[in-house]
Chains A and B, each alone.
Chain A
Amino acid sequence: MGYLEGFKVTLRKWAGVHTDTGKRLTLEYPEQVRPKPPRFHGRHVLNRYEDGMEKCIGCELCAGVCPARCIYVRGADNPPDDPVSPGERYGYVYEINYLRCIHCDLCVEACPTQAITETKLFEFAFTDRNDAIYTKAELVVDDDGQPRRQPWENWDGGFDPAEDTSGWMRATSPAGDADFEGIVAWANELGYGARAPEQGQRADSGAGTEPGAGAESTEHAHGSGGH
C-alpha cells in the first residue's frame, strides 16, 4: 500500500513538532531576522570623499546602464567658488525611483568614481508614491558618511557600516574584475576611510570583515577574470 506512506510522513511531522522531525523552519520575521548575505542589495547611497566632496560627477552612466530606467541624473558644472565635487561637473539632480528599481547593482558597477553603492537596507514601506522617489538630498550620505534615515524606513538595530553595506563593491573593483580581488582599488570614503576589501569570492572564504586577512586570498580561485 504505497498510497499510505505519504500519510505516515505528514503524521510524523505533525506528531514530532517539538522534535527534530517536525522542526519548524519559519522565522517570525519582525522579531527574528534572517542574517543578510554579504552581497545583499538594498537601497543606494551616494558617497562622499573624506574631505566631504561628493563623488558623483553627473556622468549619467548609472542612468544609462539601468535596465529598469529608474535613475534620473542631470549633471551641472561645478561652481568655481564652491565646488560640490572635485572634478569639473557634479550630479545636480539625482533621483532613484524605488517603485521601479530591481536592485541589480549595475549602476554600482557602471559608476567610475564609486559614488553610488548599495546598503543592505531593504525595509522601507512608503504610503505615498512620491516617497518612492529618493532625491539626491535623501540619497547622499550625511557628514559622518552614514545613510540618511527616512521616516518610512525601518532601521531596527541601527546601521552598522560593516554589516549593512553591501559587500559587492568590496569584493573586487567596482567593475567586478577579479584581478582586483583583495586589492583596494577605490577612493577613500567619508566616515570610513579606505574600506577593507572583501576576502575572496568563494562562499567559504568569509565575509571580509578583517582587512588584514584579505591579502592571502589574492589567488584567483575562479580565474574567470570578472563577471
Chain B
Amino acid sequence: MDPLLSGDIGLAEVLIVVLKVVVAFAALMVGVMLMVWFERKLVADMQNRIGPNRAGPFGLLQTLADGIKLFFKEELTPAEADPVVYRLAPYLSLIPAFLVFTVVPVAGNFSGDNDGVVTLFGHETLMQVADPQIGILLVLAMSSVAVYGIMLAGWSSGSKYPLLGSVRATSQMVSYEAALGLSVATVLLLAGSLSTNLIVDTQAGGRWNLWMTGLVPFVVFLVAGTAELNRPPFDLVEAEQELVGGFHTEYTALRFAMFFLAEFMNTVTMSAIIVTLFFGGPAGPTFGLTGWFPDYVLGFVYFFAKLFVFLFVFVWFRATLPRLRYDQLMDLGWKLLIPLALGWFLIVAAVKVAVDSSWNVAVVVVVAIAGLFLGGALLRLASRSGRAARLEEARSTGETPNQLTGGRS
C-alpha cells in the first residue's frame, strides 16, 4: 500500500498522484517513441543495414514523423465492419498497455528498511503510479483484456485475414497466459504478496528471484512473455507473409497507430515486469547513501539498466529467430512450457514447505520430482490407451482412422 494514501487524502495527495500519472504517461510515450527507433536501428545494425537516419539526429525523430503522418491520414472503415466494435478495439489494446505500467516501481531506495519509500514534496510515497494490493494480478488481467482488443479488431474488420489473425492471436495468447501465470505464481510464492513493491522489496540485497526461484520460471516467463507480446518468433498474429497485417490489416491512420503504439508499449512494460519480478526492479546497492540521490537517481539507473538489457534481448530475438509454425507454437506452449512451469511451481512450493517445517530438503525434492514423473507417466499412459481405443473403435466401425489426430475425426 502506498503510504501516500494511507492517511487523510487532501489536495496535496491528489496533486502528487496527478503529477505521477502525468510524468509516467509522458515518460512512457517518449520511451515508446525511442523504443521504436532503438528497435529499428538495432535490427538494422544486426542485418548490415543503416536504419532510419533522416528525421532528426540519428533518425531519432523518425517515430514522431511517422506518428504525425498517421495522424493526418484518412480513417477507413470497411463496409463489412461492425462499426462500434471496430472503433472500440484499438482502445482495448492501447489502454491496458498503459495501465500495466502503473504498477511498475521505477525508482526508490530499497536498502535496509526503506521499502522503496521516497519523500516527494514532504509526503512519503512510492515511485510507482499505484501500488494496489492486487499488484501483479492487474498485470495479468490487463494482458488478458488486451487479447480482447486484438480479437475484436480481427473479428469486427469483416475481412478474412484479420479474422484468421485474431483466431491465432486468441488461442496463442490464452495458451501462453497459462505458462505466464504459473511462472508468476512461483515468484509470488517466494514474495508472499501480490504487491509489486513488496515483490521488489523481498529481492533487495541481491536476493533476485532469478536464482531464488531457480532460473526456470524466468526462462518460461521470458518465452511466454515474448509469445504474449506477439513479437517474433511468435508473431503469427501478424505474420506478414501469410496474413498481410493480421488483425490490423484493415486499420488505417490513427487507429493503426494505436495498435502499433500498444505493441511497442507492451514490449517496454513486459520488460519492466520481467525486471520487477525476477531482477529486483530498482533495488540495488546504495553504498550507504541517503536522500534524493539513492531514492531517485540510483534506483532509476538500476531499473533502467536492467530494463535496457531486456529491450535489447527482445530486439535480438527478433533479429535472430525465424517464425514458428503454428503447431510448433502450440506444442511449445502446451507440451513444454505449461508442464515445466507447473512442475517447477510444485517443486518450489514443496521446498518452501520443507524449509518452513525444517524437513530434509533433499528428500523432499527427490520425492517431489519422483511424484511428478509418476504423474507424467500415468498421464502419458492414459492418453496412449485412449488413442489406442479410438483407433480400435474406428477400425471396428470400418472408418479410415485419421492417424494425425489419433483417431479423432
- The 0/1 profile, CB within 8 Å of B marked 1, for residues 65-84 of chain A is 00000000000000000000
Contact string against A for B residues 25-68, beta-carbon threshold 8 Å, 1 for contact and 0 otherwise: 00000000000000000100111111001000000000000000
What residues of B have a CB within 8 angstroms of the CB of A102 in the complex?
none
B45 touches A13 (CB 8 A): yes
In the complex, A139 Cα to B48 Cα: how many Å? 41
Whether the Cβ atoms of B320 and A23 lie closer than 8 Å is: no
Q: Mark A3-44, 1 if CB is under 8 A from B, else 0.
A: 000110111011001000011111010000000000000000
Which residues in window 121-147 of A have CB below 8 A to B?
none
Residues from chain A with a CB closer than 8 A to the CB of B42 are 14
- Evaluate whether A25 and B321 lie within 8 angstroms (CB atoms) in the complex, with A7-B316, A10-B316 already known: no
Question: Is A11 within 8 A of B48, CB to CB?
Answer: no
* B85 interface hit (Cβ, 8 Å): no
In the complex, A6 Cα to B46 Cα: how many Å?
A: 11
User: How many residues of chain A get a CB closer than 8 Å to chain B's CBs?
Assistant: 14
User: Closest B-chain residue to A7, C-beta based?
Assistant: B320
> A6-B320, A28-B53 are known contacts; what are 6 more A-B pairs with Cβ within 8 Å?
A10-B47, A11-B316, A22-B48, A23-B48, A25-B48, A26-B49
Residues of chain A with a CB closer than 8 A to B48's CB: 13, 22-26
Give the distance to chain B from A3, nearest Cβ to Cβ, in Å: 9
Bound-complex Cα distance A7 to B312 (A): 12
Q: Is B319 in the interface zone, CB < 8 Å from A?
A: yes
Most buried by A among B48, B49, B50: B48
Is the Cβ of B45 less than 8 Å from the Cβ of A17? yes
Is A9 in contact with B50, judged by CB distance below 8 angstroms?
Answer: no
A14 touches B45 (CB 8 A): yes
Contact A25 B49 (CB under 8 A): yes
Q: How far, in whole Å, are A212 and B49 apart by their CA atoms in the complex?
A: 42
Q: Please tell me which one of the listed residues A6, A7, A22, A28 contacts residue B45 in the complex, with CB atoms under 8 A apart.
A: A22
Beta-carbon contact of A14 and B46 below 8 Å: yes
Chain A residue at smallest Cβ distance from B317: A7
**28 CB < 8 A contacts A-B:** A6-B320, A6-B321, A9-B320, A10-B46, A10-B47, A10-B316, A10-B319, A10-B320, A13-B45, A13-B46, A13-B47, A13-B48, A14-B42, A14-B45, A14-B46, A14-B319, A22-B45, A22-B48, A23-B48, A24-B48, A24-B49, A24-B50, A25-B48, A26-B48, A26-B49, A26-B50, A28-B50, A28-B53
Provide the bound-state CA to CA distance between A13 and B49, in Å.
10
- Chain B's interface size range is 10 to 19
Q: In the docked arrangement, what's the CA distance between A163 and B46, Å?
A: 36
Which A residues touch B320, using CB under 8 A? 6-7, 9-10
Q: Which residues of B contact A (CB under 8 A)?
A: 42, 45-50, 53, 316, 319-321
Closest 3 CB pairs of A and B: A10-B46, A26-B50, A10-B320
- A22 proximity list for chain B (CB < 8 A): 45, 48
User: What separation, in Å, do the CA atoms of A6 and B53 have in the docked complex?
Assistant: 27
Contacts of B321 in A (CB 8 A): 6
With A and B bound together, what is the CA distance between A59 and B45 in angstroms?
55
Bound together, the chains give a CA A9 to CA B316 distance in angstroms of 11
Residues of A near any B CB (own CB < 8 A) = 6-7, 9-11, 13-14, 17, 22-26, 28
Shortest B300–chain A CB gap in Å is 26
- Taking the closest CB of chain A, its distance from the CB of B308, in whole angstroms, is 15
Minimal beta-carbon separation of B103 from chain A (angstroms): 31
Inside 8 A of B46's CB, which chain A residues have their CB?
Answer: 10-11, 13-14
Chain B hits for A13, CB < 8 A: 45-48
Name A17's closest neighbour in chain B (CB-CB). Answer: B45
Q: What are the residues of chain A within 8 A of B49 when measuring CB–CB?
A: 24-26
Smallest CB-CB separation from A3: which chain B residue?
B321
B45 proximity list for chain A (CB < 8 A): 13-14, 17, 22
Measured between beta carbons, the chain B residues less than 8 angstroms from A10 are 46-47, 316, 319-320
Chain B residues lying within 8 Å of A25, measured Cβ to Cβ, are 48-49
Taking CB atoms, residues of chain B closer than 8 Å to A9 are: 320
| CA distance in complex: A13, B320 (Å) | 11
CA distance A14 to B47 in the complex (A): 8
- Smallest CB-CB separation from B319: which chain A residue? A10
**Chain B residues with CB below 8 A from A6, complex form:** 320-321
Task: Report B-chain residues with C-beta under 8 Å of the C-beta of A17.
Answer: 45
Across-interface contacts of A26 in B (CB, < 8 A): 48-50
A218, chain B: closest CB distance, angstroms: 42
Give bound CA distance, A24 to B48, whole Å: 4
A10: min CB distance to chain B, Å: 4
C-alpha gap A42/B48 in the complex (Å): 29
B325 → A minimal CB distance (Å):
16
Residue among A10, A23, A25, A28 facing the most chain B CB atoms (10 A cut-off) = A10
Given the complex, which residues of B lie within 8 Å of A24, measured CB to CB? 48-50
Nearest CB on B from A17, distance (A): 5
Instruction: For the complex, give the distance between the alpha carbons of A26 and B321 in Å.
Output: 22
Q: How far is the CA of A24 from the CA of B316 in the complex (A)?
A: 18
Chain A: minimal CB distance from B80 (Å): 31
Nearest-neighbour CB distance to chain B for A89, whole angstroms, equals 50
Closest to B47 in A: A13
Distance, CA A17 to CA B43, complexed state (A): 12
Distance A9 CA – B45 CA, assembled complex (angstroms): 12
Cα distance A26–B48 when bound, in Å? 8
Residue in chain B with minimal CB distance to A6: B320
Give bound CA distance, A25 to B45, whole Å.
Answer: 11
